[in-house]
Structure 1
């Protein structure tokens, strides 16, 4: 399997970083965006971005979706479900039933 060569990039904020894919996301900018509290803080960056892309920024909004609908979002995988279920349970909510 051929290995990809990392290229040096600079984001709009001036951070320099190396990437092997064409993903334009700056790791430093992403680290600075991570919330310090709330259910979104427990998720990986791709999972958090997926939810925010669909304006799912509260557990109440999360409860409007089924597990299957959330799993279909690009960036959300089975590893994210326990954190989401825990956040819903702590708020007295659950995923929407089919």
Structure 2
């Protein structure tokens, strides 16, 4: 799924961006709130080094993860 705002994930590497957009259909950062950290780490191309970068950006924008339970 293409988005007009291609920079909303620019803080992540290309493989992580592709994983979020292609595999989960993320079209804006707020869409991440539908997923847990474990969900993202299961994606091909989204590794442990991407998680702290994403967490920092979500925190900065006041976006929370889906509850782990």
Return the alpha-carbon distance in structure 2 between the equivalents of residues 59 and 94 of structure 1.
Answer: 11
Counterpart of 1:46?
15
What per-residue deviation string (whole Å, max 9, x for no partner) do you get for residues 30-79 of structure 1? xxxxx4x43x1011111000001021132210111000001001100000
How many residue pairs were aligned? 62
Normalised to the residue count of structure 2, the TM-score between the two structures is 0.80
Q: Is the 8 A contact 1:59 1:91 kept in 2?
A: no
Whichever structure has more strand as a proportion of its residues is: 1
RMSD: 1.2
How far the C-alpha of 1:83 sits from its partner, in A, is: 1.2
Counterpart of 2:42?
72
Return the alpha-carbon distance in structure 2 between the equivalents of residues 84 and 58 of structure 1.
Answer: 13
Normalised to the residue count of structure 1, the TM-score between the two structures is 0.58
- Structure 2, unaligned runs of 5 or more: 1-5
Report which of the two structures shows the higher radius of gyration computed on alpha carbons. Answer: 1
